[in-house]
Amino acid sequence: MTFSPELEARFEKFLAKYPADRKRSAVIPMLIYGQDEVGAITDELINEVAKRTGATPLQVTEVVGFYSMLHRKPQGKYHVQVCTNISCLLVGGAELWEQACKKTGLGHKETSKDGLISLEEVECMGACSWAPAVQVNYDFYHDVTPEQLDKLIDGLAAGKKPEQIAEVTKVSC
Amino acid sequence: MLYNQPNPLEVKVLSRRFTLPNSQSIETYLANDGYKALEKALGMTQDQIIDEVKASGLRGRGGAGFPTGLKWSFVPRQSPKPKYIVVNADESEPGTCKDRLLIEYDPHQLIEGVIIAGQAVGAEQGYIYIRGEYRYLIDVMDRAIDEAYARGVLGDNVMGSGRKFHLASHSGAGAYECGEESALLESFEGKRGNPRIRPPFPAVAGCYQSPTILNNVETFCAVPAIFLNGGAYFAGLGSPKNGGTRLFCLSGHVNKPGVYELPMGFNLMRMINEVGGGVRGGKKLKAVIPGGSSCPVLKADECDIAMDYDSVAAAKSMLGSGGVVVMDEDTCMVNAALRIMKFYAHESCGWCIPCREGTTWLKKLLTRFHEGMGQRSDIVLIGDLSKNMLGRTFCPLGDAAAMPTIAFVEKFKDEFEAHLDGKPCPYEKSNRMVAA
Amino acid sequence: MADLVKFTIDGREIEAAAGTLVIEAAKKNGIEIPSFCYYEGLSLQAACRMCLVEVEKMPKMQVACTLPVGAGMVVRTDTEQVRKARKTTLEFLLVNHPLDCPVCDKGGECELQDMVFKYGAGESRFTETKMHVDEQQWSPVVFYDGPRCILCFRCVRACEEGMGVAALGVVNRGAQSLIAPNHGDHLECDECGQCIDICPVGALTSGAYRYQTRPWEMEHVGTICTHCSDGCKTTLGVRGDEIMRGNNRDRSGVNGEFLCAKGRYAYDFYNHAERIQSPMVRVGGKLEPVSWSKALELVARKFGEIRSRSGEIGVIGSSHTTNEENYYLQKFARQGLNTNNIDHHRTGDVVTLVDALSGTTGQLATTQDLYEKKAFLVIGADLALEHPFLSYQIRASFRHHAAHVYTVTAEKVREDDYAVRSVRKAAGTELEALEDLRAALAAEPELVILFGDAVKGDGVRKLVEFGQSLGTAVKYCALVDYANSRGAIDMGLVPELLPGYQASGKSGLSVKEMLASQTLEALWVVGANPLKSGPLASKKTFVVVQDMFLTETAQRADVVLPAASAYEKSGTVTNVCGEVQRLTRAVTAVGAKTDLEIIGLIAKEMSLAATVGPWSSETVYNEIRKTVKGYNIPLAMLAVQAQQTAPVNGRVAVESRPDLIHSAHDGLFTSGTLGRYSKILNSVMESRKETVTA
């Protein structure tokens, strides 16, 4: 399996982090960064990660199902994650999630036909004091209102990059 | 720019550099006492380092509040295996968002704390396990680690001492269970995040079955201040047996939610009113979860307490991870209980029967109950099932699910009763259930 | 010896070795602490939480399966709190467990049923919907029903730790967790089925048995598997004279927890459609069914004629038939037919080994030694495929006793995965590696050397010389192929040796020589297929074959006499380690007779009954006890457990024929003589071929 030079370099760096006989430690980092490039955790990716870390494909498969950020099905180019856990729930997280569903016509873990947007209702993402919060891929959005979410989704649907959407600002650097 | 405005009542120790320009950079760090604590520690013996930490009264900031110095002292002095320092940056407890800031604004403080821990036990390698959702913090951490290597703070000759210390970041991929230390280690080793049988504890057989110090981000971040100013100084910041300050994450129905660094033992009602600006919209306070979703809820009249481990424990809850979730009079406690149980059912690793089956059963039961399809006997059953999990599960996740549920159903029985007989939820506004 | 610790369980003061787990200490003293995930010999899980007990001075209940006994510890297993914990854990377990017990294969022998009956509640408070996932078929013989699975992880551990295969894992998280096979939707493994045996519920079921019968409708007959020489006990579930399943029901054989695909599934050759049910005689070039009396009369007449004119008769015995049959056959050949032309397919050089060890005692390894000893040297054998039980024992010794394993083989073998040294040597040159290993092996406190057919004759002497020079306690095992290969040699199925390795003092033809002889007037083949690899030289030879199937040899026969299978007879067999065990008849042969009876009937027909004696296996066994050294073991003792024999401890006075030794190297998935006729085994092989080519 071939990856971009950037990802290859990253994998090499990962594998160098752990003792020589402990390459299996790189399984999860390789899976999640690999998913970012491949689009999903494919059988091919599982086998490749297994091969490079000395784990068996079954051991890697066991790992994939355990972690909620690892997906066997391809997600959208923009994976919109809305937190509805307790801190967000108290300040409109549920309404925000409903709005996201209404706006996109998608449900939990569904992807738009054009592959642009996918939705996921997620557990606490660590933005409780700036709730309700949304993550698009790995970027955080704090204190999101339903109106802002609409703008964000409209912008993404219009082919804009998240940073080009003026109404909402991602907070993570 | 900070995500929330600071408050004058804060005692800024760990967060004191947050507002500095380029606070992430090693230059800023070095210009503001950075790595001076490490320099001191490099001149101390292992016993002296551990004694200093013991003297500081520092207790684990991950939630359990175990005395840090004591934990470090459990690492065997002589070991044929290499020793490891592992940072738990898998911050996942609902209501908690402080470690994120500690890494984002002051990554070198964490690095310094970790290297000092390495000196305490003779470890030469550290890893920072960062939850996958905090991807940008992995980049922050990696940049800081690179800087530290470039300055000779990390590497084969730590600050010219001749000692080695290496550090690397490590990404998780979404699993609350990995916040439990032995599950984190399993996950770190590339496996499913199931917790391990303990004993042996990580101090004896942790990372790669080697002696390991494993602490929360905030715990390590407190270490430089302890060495800079002395353990006694740090201890004096807090309340008896509860040294130092704590980053409290105020969330929910307050006017000024945010992360605030306050002395241990700070009064909860003052925290809500004077730091958080009071309950939003002038409403009445109904309840507070004092330390993240696994801590039993406190009713408004139970909230006049000092926020330290012992005082909150005396109020039959826990200080936990510092996530203070404030709920106003319009909050539906059945819905809150349900949402929290839904979380634990989602996060249960599946290893042991009571947690795996208990959380799922309770999730289904609470869902039905909240929809108005409950029966009176269900109220007893909710408490009963929770108690049947309590203390019987493989790891604390079962307790974390059971304890708040027991508190919700016992303290707010009237609200559960108000949902009986097909009556609509009395708290219309928060009566929203989300798909799962 | 570990120090003894005194502690109290349920008011009884008990002693146990320090480090003993409370659950084990309780069991040894007759106190049952229930558990699902705890399984002796496998790694600890503490997952099911059934074994919670109260321990004084400990605030919470403790899991007895990970808690070592402590001096003065006070344990209570029968308090209100403990009973409630068990009851509620079972209540949790039944939340998602379907109550399809009426149709579940496990119904009646299900640990969950038993536990709920004993410790559970009579009613359920669960009124929500249960989760469902569809059943999956992982191989022709392994099915997985997810909802029934209680996630005790026994199967995962049995496969990874016990078998070293690691074909099973856990996928998903929480209540959605499921067991999964190693190749997406199917298994690629040894198909040993131990995961099915060890499953406490009906989550893993056998493709050969599922939905066939209820356990209580069967009689459970413990006997010995006939497929290889390891001598595993298999328990045949028999309903109305039909074998419904094979499994390792009570784990009471030498094989303990182990049973492979053949022992479990390959019993079904016995009712294969091609099984011969009637004697046949060649009429006009074709084999025609005849009555027993006609067939026997013909055989007796022909044998009688040839004997009376001292014509050349050859007798080929079997590595599958019982000791009694082998003993009886050679006796008949030698004393009745006055011929010393008796032989069988020799697969390992036991003869040279016992000769080389003359003057020593206790140097032949037992199957138990393979678990207990601290070091092993495996020469020229792929144990995992050819001797799966021996491989299992050594792996268990590695896991439990940190045994050091050395391998010298031509190809990679499974033992290499945990061996301290693995040396690659072409077949036949293995012994060249010995000197390099000398220092390491000499440092071992004890050693077992196992060798395949590549080491024979002088090679065995050289190997023993090497072993004896190490200065450490060494035991040996000469690997042989078949269920009674060892017994065939012990019983003197070779020209040069009488039973018990006594020199016959006479020459005789070997199998090879018989097949090549132009003067051979009659060839009597009992349970062997020597013509598989080539024709008989003489077209005129009168051939009598006793067999279950119309093998290549039977097709050449003039008279074919249908023989009973091992599952249709009683008697004894001797395994690769020289351990004698009893076969117990499970079903009645239809049309066929046991080889012992057939031989006896021929003798009777020839008026030689007095010479050979009665054809009762007990009578013959008693004669073996008296005449074959080392076999003086009462049958009653064999009923309890296997006994190792040492049929010689002096020089073997004649040179055996190492040149005739040749192992077929049948593996788990290459077909032995009987395996060919097992539909189930063949379906497993077919499915493997498909997945390999796919």
CATH of the domain at B322: 3.10.20.600
Inter-chain residue contact B192 with C170, CB threshold 8 Å:
yes
What is the distance, to the nearest Å, from the Cα of residue B173 to the centroid of all Cα atoms in its chain?
18
Find the residue in A nearest to B188 (Cα).
A25
Which of B293, B328, B363 marks a domain boundary? B328
Domain check: are B101 and B187 in the same one? yes
The helix/strand/coil state of B178 is helix
Inter-chain residue contact B349 with C174, CB threshold 8 Å:
yes
Q: How far is C118 from chain A (nearest CA, A)?
A: 34
Task: Determine, yes or no, domain membership for B173.
Answer: yes
Q: In chain C, how long is the greatest CA-to-CA distance?
A: 92
Inter-chain residue contact A65 with C167, CB threshold 8 Å:
no
Confidence bin at C693 (pLDDT 50/70/90): low
Q: How far is CA C668 from CA B184, C261, C385, C674, in A?
A: 40, 7, 5, 12
Q: Which residues of B touch A97 (CB under 8 A)?
A: 434-435
Inter-chain residue contact B191 with A22, CB threshold 8 Å:
no
CB atoms within 10 A of CB C534: 11
DSSP conformational letter for B39: H
Q: Which residues of B touch A108 (CB under 8 A)?
A: 435-436
Write out the residue range of the structural domain in which residue B360 sits. 333-418
Inter-chain residue contact C93 with B357, CB threshold 8 Å:
yes
Domain check: are B220 and B148 in the same one? yes
Domain check: are B54 and B194 in the same one? yes
What is the distance, to the nearest Å, from the Cα of residue B368 to the centroid of all Cα atoms in its chain?
31
Pick the CATH number of A5-66 from 3.30.365.10, 3.30.420.40, 3.60.150.10, 1.10.10.1590: 1.10.10.1590
Confidence bin at C694 (pLDDT 50/70/90): low
Which of B274, B305, B328 marks a domain boundary? B328
Which of B328, B350, B376 marks a domain boundary? B328
Inter-chain residue contact A25 with B170, CB threshold 8 Å:
yes
Task: Determine, yes or no, domain membership for B414.
Answer: yes
Task: Determine, yes or no, domain membership for B11.
Answer: no
Q: Which residues of B touch A66 (CB under 8 A)?
A: 175, 192-193, 349
Chains with 3 or more CB pairs under 8 A to chain C:
A, B
Domain check: are B190 and B126 in the same one? yes
Task: Determine, yes or no, domain membership for B290.
Answer: yes
Q: What is the mean pLDDT of residues C224-246?
A: 95
Looking at the 3D structure of chain B, how many domains does it have? 3
Q: What is the mean pLDDT of residues C337-343?
A: 97
DSSP conformational letter for C581: E
**ipTM of the assembly?**
0.97
Residue B40: give its domain's CATH number.
3.40.50.11540
Q: Please write the tens of the pLDDT for every residue from C364-419.
A: 999 999 999 999 999 999 999 999 999 999 999 999 999 999 999 999 999 999 99
Confidence bin at C478 (pLDDT 50/70/90): very high
Domain check: are B41 and B158 in the same one? yes
Chains with 3 or more CB pairs under 8 A to chain A:
B, C
Asked if pLDDT for residue C474 goes beyond 60, the answer is yes
Q: Which residues of A touch C169 (CB under 8 A)?
A: 58-59, 61-62
Inter-chain residue contact B327 with A19, CB threshold 8 Å:
no
Domain check: are B193 and B315 in the same one? no
CB atoms within 10 A of CB C214: 15
C59/B252 Cα distance (integer angstroms) = 35
Asked if pLDDT for residue A45 goes beyond 80, the answer is yes
Structure tokens at B207: 């990372």
Exposure b/e, C276-290, CB count within 10 A at least 16 = b: bebbbbbeeeebebb
Task: Determine, yes or no, domain membership for B14.
Answer: no
Domain check: are B117 and B199 in the same one? yes
Inter-chain residue contact A89 with B335, CB threshold 8 Å:
yes
Interface A-B, measured as beta-carbon pairs within 8 A, has a size of: 178
Inter-chain residue contact B392 with C61, CB threshold 8 Å:
yes
In chain A, where are the structural domains located?
Answer: 5-66, 78-164
Q: Tell me how many helices (H) and strands (E) chain A has.
A: 7, 5
Q: Please write the tens of the pLDDT for every residue from B397-416.
A: 999 999 999 999 999 999 99
Site from A45, A59, A61 to mutate, C interface, most C CB atoms within 10 angstroms: A61
Q: Which residues of C touch B192 (CB under 8 A)?
A: 170, 173
Domain A78-164 fold? Glutaredoxin (3.40.30)
**H/E segment holding residue B335:** helix B333-347
Kindly write down the DSSP assignment for every residue of C511-561, as one continuous string: HHHHHH-SSEEEEEEES--GGGGS--S-SS-EEEEEESS--HHHHT-SEEE
Domain check: are B260 and B193 in the same one? no
Domain check: are B39 and B184 in the same one? yes
Q: How far is C140 from chain A (nearest CA, A)?
A: 20
Q: How far is B221 from chain C (nearest CA, A)?
A: 32
C243/C235 Cα distance (integer angstroms) = 10
Domain check: are B301 and B364 in the same one? no
Q: Please write the tens of the pLDDT for every residue from B414-430.
A: 999 999 988 778 886 54
Residue B351: give its domain's CATH number.
1.20.1440.230
C61 touches chain B (CB under 8 A): yes
Residue ranges of domains in chain C, CATH in brackets: 4-93 (3.10.20.740), 111-235 (3.30.70.20), 280-347+484-662 (3.40.50.740), 350-478 (3.40.228.10)
Task: Determine, yes or no, domain membership for B399.
Answer: yes
Q: Which residues of C touch B350 (CB under 8 A)?
A: 151, 170, 172-177
| DSSP bridge pairs for A136 | A80, A139
Domain check: are B188 and B142 in the same one? yes
Which of C170, C183, C184 minimises the CB distance to A62? C170
Which of A57, A65, A68 minimises the CB distance to C171? A65
CA dihedral of residues C563, C569, C571, C576 (deg, nearest 10): 70
Q: Please write the tens of the pLDDT for every residue from C67-86.
A: 999 999 999 999 999 999 99
Secondary structure string (H, E, C) spanning C392-403:
HHHHHHHHHHCC
The helix/strand/coil state of A37 is helix
Q: Please write the tens of the pLDDT for every residue from C274-291.
A: 999 999 999 999 999 999
Inter-chain residue contact B357 with C52, CB threshold 8 Å:
no
pLDDT of residue C639: 82
Window 166-195 of C: residues touching A by CB (8 A cutoff) are 166-173, 180-184
Q: Which residues of B touch A85 (CB under 8 A)?
A: 94, 293, 339, 343
Q: Which residues of A touch B327 (CB under 8 A)?
A: 90
What's the start-to-end Cα distance of chain C, in Å?
A: 54
Q: How far is C422 from chain A (nearest CA, A)?
A: 19
The residues of chain B scoring below 70 in pLDDT are 1, 428-436
Domain check: are B209 and B275 in the same one? no
In the chain, the amino acid numbered C633 is I
Q: Which residues of C touch A62 (CB under 8 A)?
A: 169-171, 180
Which of B3, B326, B434 minimises the CB distance to A130? B3
pLDDT of residue C159: 97
Site from A27, A28, A43, A58 to mutate, C interface, most C CB atoms within 10 angstroms: A58
Structure tokens at A152: 């964000």
pLDDT of residue B428: 62
Instruction: Name the residue among C685, C559, C684, C675 with its Cα closest to residue C272.
Output: C675
B59/B92 Cα distance (integer angstroms) = 19
Burial group, residue B124, by CB count within 10 angstroms (0-12, 13-18, 19+): middle
Inter-chain residue contact A59 with B132, CB threshold 8 Å:
no
Peptide bond into C102 cis (omega under 30): no
Q: Which residues of A touch C167 (CB under 8 A)?
A: 58
A77/A57 Cα distance (integer angstroms) = 27
Find the residue in A nearest to B331 (Cα).
A90
Q: Which residues of B touch C47 (CB under 8 A)?
A: 351-353, 394
Inter-chain residue contact B95 with A172, CB threshold 8 Å:
no
State the average pLDDT for chain C.
95
Q: How far is A62 from chain C (nearest CA, A)?
A: 5
B292/B247 Cα distance (integer angstroms) = 13
Q: Which residues of A touch B272 (CB under 8 A)?
A: none
Asked if pLDDT for residue C501 goes beyond 90, the answer is yes
pLDDT of residue C631: 94
Q: How far is C7 from chain A (nearest CA, A)?
A: 41
Which of C166, C172, C173 minimises the CB distance to A58? C166
